[in-house]
Amino acid sequence: MLRKLFIGAIALLSFTTATADEGMWLPSLIKERIKEMRKQGFKLKADDIYSDSKASLKDAVVQFGGGCTGEFVSPEGLLLTNHHCGYSSIQKLSSVEHDYLTDGFWAMSREEELPVPGLKVSLLVKMEDVTGRLAAGESRDDIIGKEIKGKGYRASIESMYYGNQYYLFVYCTFRDVRLVGAPPSSIGKFGGDTDNWIWPRHTGDFSVFRVYADANNEPADYSKENVPYRPKRYFKISTKGVNEGDFTMIYGFPGNTQEYITSKAVDYIEKVSNPMKIALRTIRLDIIREAQAKSVATRIAYAAKHAGIANSWKKWEGESLGLKNLNTAEKKTEYEKEFAEWAAGKPEYARLLDSINASYERVIPGYFMRELFNESIAGIELFSFASQLYNKALSQSKLPADEQAGIRKRYLKDYNREIDHAIARHMIREFVERMPKENIPQQLTAAIEKHGGAEALADELFAKTQLIDKYPLTKEEIYADPFVQFASWFAPCMIQNQKYAYRNLSNVPEVEKWYKAYMQALREWDKERAFYPDANFTLRVAYGAVTGYENADGEYHTHLTTLDGVLAKDNPEIYDYNIPQELRDIYDRKDYGRWAIEKNDGKSVPVCFLASNHTSGGNSGSPVINSKGELVGINFDRTWRSTMSDIEFDPAICRNISVDIRFVLFVMDRLGGAGYLLEEMGIK
Ligand code: ARG
Ligand code: GLU
């Protein structure tokens, strides 16, 4: 009753009411949602999405690399994902003579496809609720052991709802994966970090791979004898396009959400953690950008680093702003009050919130220290290099030159001493200013005093270190190096940080143990709420519709962008907006052939579209599926104002961004000259 009043007072956006579009559902339980999905236009059945016994759409979806999603689009193992998911593979295969990042790459035959060492793709074989088996005394190892039945199999047991349920996931991992094609970065990364998280968007963020298997269609190391993998299921592509209101479903591997955390945790993220991380990254990004503006070589060397630092930086800014605008912490406080009233009469739940809050009090200082350390000291590249060398030297009697060479290559290949030095001057100072005194290593305090400031200490370290210029180094030289000394002062700090090395603040065991009961209680109490487990890089289904949104008062953002917008942003002077000349020529001739759509009495080509699916990091590369189960796009981003959806989803503005499959095909066909791939995908 009270709650009803509260919902009225807080208006329409209360997170207590589940909306149709919120949620990341476990595929094996999708039968519980299928009625709702069909009401919204979906035509297939639950076991078309997921089945243990017959081929289903889940057999066409893969975990791509360590943090993305991909999908099969042909009977011969052809795979689509994002350009930013394939980026490091494309970079690895590139050289000065063959710069596939800049120029793009298209294999004109199977022989020309390029094996990517180390790249792996995993298919979900099955998933199963094993809560009962674990409770009955079966061990994790026993359960997993029984499931490793095939070549390339691996299994893991993942906790859902903070340990209330456990699911077994069995995967089959393929390790011969080859690059088939990628557009030039001027298309695949069009707009760069400026357009990242932004709508209107015009990025052709896709790349194409192929999975290879042995003669039995099973995983194998790379071999010339391997043949294209024949998936049980692949996506049929629809070239009919999307319209506002069309049903869409996303099938992929979202990495991390925290929808059930209490107000205290929201406060920590919004007001403590994000602002600290944003401030420190702003400093690093400013330094890198300034150096990049002065030199083309530096721009290239620091492109991937810049993208990585900037991506989360921008996300956190959007997230904190979103939480503030939604009043998430205040709403949660109200929600908790009502919960406490209900729980007061129930001995097993009555003190739960007190326990959660008390555990946050104890854990937050240590958790913050770890975050601060990671963003400051660990943000100095030479710190990581020195730590690696030091650990290696400690752990073995000799440190052979080739091993040093390996570490050097990893850390110093694209290294710029001036950038790192400038960053170190700031990061050491930020660390000591933001860290409680008692947690600052004594040697550091002493060294800062001795040299007359954090900046002077950084100058001294960079002036005296031999790590960058001398190779190979003896063990004695490594131990005596001032930067290695500096790194060693933080060893106790790093050991302490291990205690807090969990996915999120609320997953630190001392906190998480209370969440188990809290989740149970919430599910008993809040009967109207549709509960789904937080994302944890396991396979999920999200559904919604193609739709624009009101970005600001009187400013509606429509659902589709076109080639006209690409050309409007095109600027040969600006690296991130300098499109290939070929694309300009095609545009001038309006020579779009079959890819043309009607637009304002003229013609254009669709590029990206918006939808209301609940997605997160890890959903990059996910198939966007229409009501008939056909592929209409590849997911690659959210809008900036959506980014708080990892904590509170707002159906009014949360939108995911996908590249329209018609743009993917247009680029393959007209710029890549890879028409044979279209044939392979069944596009006539
Ligand atoms: N924001 C997207 C994601 O979170 C895309 C990131 C890659 N693109 C970029 N310009 N940095 O991963
Ligand atoms: N670009 C993100 C990824 O790589 C997806 C965007 C998001 O966070 O929703 O997973």
Confidence of residue 296 (pLDDT cuts 50, 70, 90): confident
- What distance in angstroms lies between residue 309's CA and the mean position of ligand 1's atoms? 10
Q: Is the peptide bond before 472 cis (omega within 30 degrees of 0)?
A: yes
Give the ligand 2 atom nearest the CA of 616. Answer: 9
Cβ pair 512, 162 in contact under 8 A: yes
Over the stretch 233-292, which tens digit does the pLDDT of each residue have? 999 999 999 999 999 999 999 999 999 999 999 999 999 999 999 999 999 999 999 999
Any catalytic annotation for residue 202? no
Nearest CA to ligand 2 atom 8: 617
639 lines ligand 1 (CB under 6 A): no
The continuous run of DSSP H or E covering 220 comes out as none
- 88 Cβ closer than 6 Å to some ligand 1 atom: no
Q: Is the CB of 113 under 6 A from ligand 2?
A: no
The ligand with the least distance to the CA atom of 303 is 1
> Would you state the pLDDT for residue 546?
97
Average pLDDT over residues 8-12: 39
**CA of 196, closest atom in ligand 1:** 10
Residue found by looking up tokens 């939808």 in the block = 611
**Is any atom of ligand 2 closer than 6 Å to the C-beta of 643?**
no
Query: Which tens digit of pLDDT belongs to each residue from 575-594?
Result: 899 999 999 999 999 999 99
pLDDT above 50 (res 1)? no
- Does residue 620 have its Cβ closer than 6 Å to ligand 1? yes
Residue 413 predicted with pLDDT over 70: yes
* Cα–Cα dist 479/485, whole Å: 7
For ligand 2, whether the C-beta of 637 sits within 6 Å is yes
Model confidence at 118, pLDDT cuts 50, 70, 90, reads very high
Q: What's the gap in Å between 583 CA and the centre of ligand 1?
A: 23
Q: Is residue 616 lining ligand 2, measured as CB closer than 6 Å?
A: yes
Helix (H) or strand (E) holding 159: strand 153-160
Res. 398 pLDDT band, cuts 50 70 90:
confident
Nearest CA to ligand 1 atom 6: 311
Q: How confident is the model at residue 6 (pLDDT cuts 50, 70, 90)?
A: very low
Helix residue spans in 396-441 (DSSP H): 401-412, 417-434
Averaged pLDDT score across all residues of the chain: 95
Measured by CA distance, the residue closest to atom 11 of ligand 1 is 307
* The one catalytic residue among 620, 622, 627, 642: 620
Residues 114-128 have a mean pLDDT of 97
- Enter the pTM of the model: 0.94
Reported for 239-243, long-range contacts at CB under 8 A and 24+ positions apart, including other chains, are 239/661, 239/662, 239/665, 239/683, 241/597, 241/606, 241/632, 241/660, 241/662, 242/546, 242/559, 242/560, 242/609, 242/626, 242/632, 242/633, 242/660, 243/546
Residues 679 and 669: their CA atoms lie apart, in Å, by 10
**Protein residue with its CA nearest to atom 3 in ligand 1:** 637
Residue 3 in this model has a pLDDT that exceeds 60? no
From the list 21, 59, 83, 84, the catalytic residue is: 84
Report the percentage of the chain scoring pLDDT > 90. 92
Note the pLDDT tens digit of each residue in 354-381: 999 999 999 999 999 999 999 999 999 9
Closest CA to 282 of 381, 426, 425: 426
d(CA 428, ligand 2 centre) in Å: 31
Distance, in Å, from the CA atom of 488 to the CA atom of 383, rounded to the nearest integer, reads 10
The residue from 176, 205, 481, 570 that is catalytic is 205
Tell me what the mean pLDDT of segment 209-236 comes to: 98
- Ligand 2 in reach of 254 Cβ (< 6 A): no
Q: In angstroms, rounded to a whole number, what is the distance separating the alpha carbons of residues 413 and 415?
A: 6
Please indicate whether residue 638, judged by its CB atom, sits closer than 6 Å to ligand 2.
yes
Q: Is the CB of 197 under 6 A from ligand 1?
A: yes
Position 588 scores a pLDDT of 97
Could you tell me which of 371, 400, 406 has the C-alpha nearest to residue 385? 406
Atom of ligand 2 nearest to the CA of 635: 5
Q: Place 396 in a pLDDT band, splitting at 50, 70 and 90.
A: confident
pLDDT at 557 over 70: yes
Annotated active-site residue 420? The verdict is no
Residue 381: closest CA among 467, 475, 292, 289: 467
Burial code of 385-402, b = ≥16 C-beta within 10 A, e = fewer?
bbbbbbebbeeeeebeee
Ligand 1 binding pocket includes 316 (Cβ within 6 Å): no
Mutate to test the pocket of ligand 2, among 638, 646, 656, 658 (most ligand atoms within 8 A of CB): 638
pLDDT on residue 511: 97
The answer to whether 433 touches 448, Cβ cutoff 8 Å, is no
Task: Judge whether 84 counts as a catalytic residue.
Answer: yes
pLDDT digits (tens, 9 = 90+) for 616-663: 999 999 999 999 999 999 999 999 999 999 999 999 999 999 999 999
**Confidence at residue 20, expressed as pLDDT on a 0 to 100 scale:** 55
Task: Work out which ligand 2 atom sits closest to the CA atom of 615.
Answer: 9
Nearest to 483 by CA among 468, 501, 461: 461
Residues 6+ apart with CB under 8 A from 610: 199, 546, 547, 548, 549, 557, 559, 560, 639, 655, 656, 657, 658
Q: What is the pLDDT of residues 15-46, one digit of tens each?
A: 333 345 899 999 999 999 999 999 999 999 99
Q: State whether residue 257 is helix, strand or coil.
A: coil
Cβ-Cβ contacts under 8 Å for 257 (sequence gap 6 or more): 24, 534, 535, 616, 645, 646, 647
